[in-house]
Structure 1
Amino acid sequence: MGWDVLLFDLDGTLTDSGPGIMHAAETALGSFGITGLSEQALRQFVGPPLVESFAVYLLQADVQTAIDRFRAYYRETGWLENEPYPGVRECLHALKAAGKRMYVATSKLESMARQVLTHFDLMQYFDGVCGGIADDPEAGKKVNVVRRALREAECTEFSRAILSGDREYDIYGGHAAGIQTVGVLYGYGSREELESAGADALAETPEALLALLL
């Protein structure tokens, strides 16, 4: 299948941002007296919109405060507890050389996504970055960032676009926006999660993802 417009999730797909996100979540929840969460529980903060993740543990009235405390930690320290997955840079380089148009579609704040991509010298590969907007929970929902990326790409033939991501939220969001999806198995979602969500294809490694998308 010849896809011309390639969309990528950021956390758990391009970079292993889990440590910083988990520490930020742990700090924010700890400020409400919620401590001792397992690593598996904290891993669930990698990928989904924060408003959904914190709502599992907090009253709705406290969710925004938790998000603010999460972001304070992440801006200061957490964003550096992060690194590109081995093979991702080479994958992006080859796809760019092949003439693919590439966009990041992430629930992370767009400003922070750009900061991370710039820090790791990955911005050069992307034609656009679409992410969350402070004080607008709807903007960061996966289906909405995917739709924004498709508009930026002026993509009207949705069969020519595909989203790669590591969580069920990526698969559901891509499908809701009308495009196909690839579930990457080197991130934070399990094979079972991605298959149950209906991923159109799976990639074990960035090298396998490259072979699929070329």
Structure 2
Amino acid sequence: MRPGLWLFDLDGTLIDSAPGIHASIDHALTALGLAPLPVAQLPQWIGPPLRESFARVLPDAAVVESAVARYREHYAARGWAAHRVYPGIPELLRQLVDGGAQLAIVTSKVERYARQIVQAAHWGQHFHAVYGVGEASAHSEKVAQIARAMHDFAVAAGASTMLGDRHYDIAGARANGVQALGALWGYGTRAELLDAGADAVFATPAALAQWATSGATRASAQDLHP
């Protein structure tokens, strides 16, 4: 078992939050007189900061801010609860904790919503901290969040691991010298994660759990799980 500090992305890594996010995006777009988001485009919206995603489809900053306000109006009321936990996640978390690891969440989601989700989940008890973003955040903050977590937990980069499903997670880990693992059950692709520099990618939480109990201390290219 690899102990130390394990950092987890939230959306697309611990939970499949697509239903609540999609409904909240549609609420925002239709309130502005626009067409709902096609299902095929949804994966592009899960992971990046919200303002970054709206800026790709809206004409200017003022309209983006209006859309963000509408989105959060819906998300705060019901969107946050419309998610499911990925199979195998509770078992993985329990295994890591039993092996002596400390756990924290590092997410691009607004921190108060992230805390709300974690506190309502039975597996939330395993996490010692939640690092989210502020209401005004417009960019990925993964690099700073990971650095803050390592400082708060007083854990060196060599004893830290980041698991996420998008390139933001991998880039944040690499910038801090932290082991970067990719979750293929989320919204990023194998190519996206490997191109960002993931040390290894795993097809399922069970595959990652198996690797974590193998006694390995550092993932490498040959640890890839199809």
Conserved 8 A contact 2:22-2:37:
no
Conserved 8 A contact 1:104-1:149:
no
| 1:191 alignment partner in structure 2 | 190
Matches within 5 A, 1:18-33: 18-33=18-33
Conserved 8 A contact 1:5-1:162:
yes
Conserved 8 A contact 1:25-1:42:
no
| 1:101 alignment partner in structure 2 | 102
Shift of 1:34: 2.5
| 2:199 alignment partner in structure 1 | 200
Q: Distance in 2 between matches of 1:34 and 1:176?
A: 38
Matches within 5 A, 1:123-142: 123-137=124-138, 141-142=141-142
| 2:15 alignment partner in structure 1 | 15
Q: Distance in 1 between matches of 2:135 and 2:97?
A: 30
Matches within 5 A, 1:14-93: 14-58=14-58, 59-93=60-94
Shift of 1:112: 0.9
Shift of 1:36: 4.4
Q: Distance in 2 between matches of 1:20 and 1:137?
A: 20
| 2:121 alignment partner in structure 1 | 120
Larger CA Rg, structure 1 vs 2: 2
Give unmatched runs, 5+ long, in structure 2. Answer: 214-226
| 1:177 alignment partner in structure 2 | 176
| 2:221 alignment partner in structure 1 | none
Shift of 1:116: 0.5
Q: Please, what TM-score do these two structures have when normalized by structure 1?
A: 0.92
| 2:4 alignment partner in structure 1 | 4
Q: Please, what TM-score do these two structures have when normalized by structure 2?
A: 0.87
Q: How many residues align?
A: 212
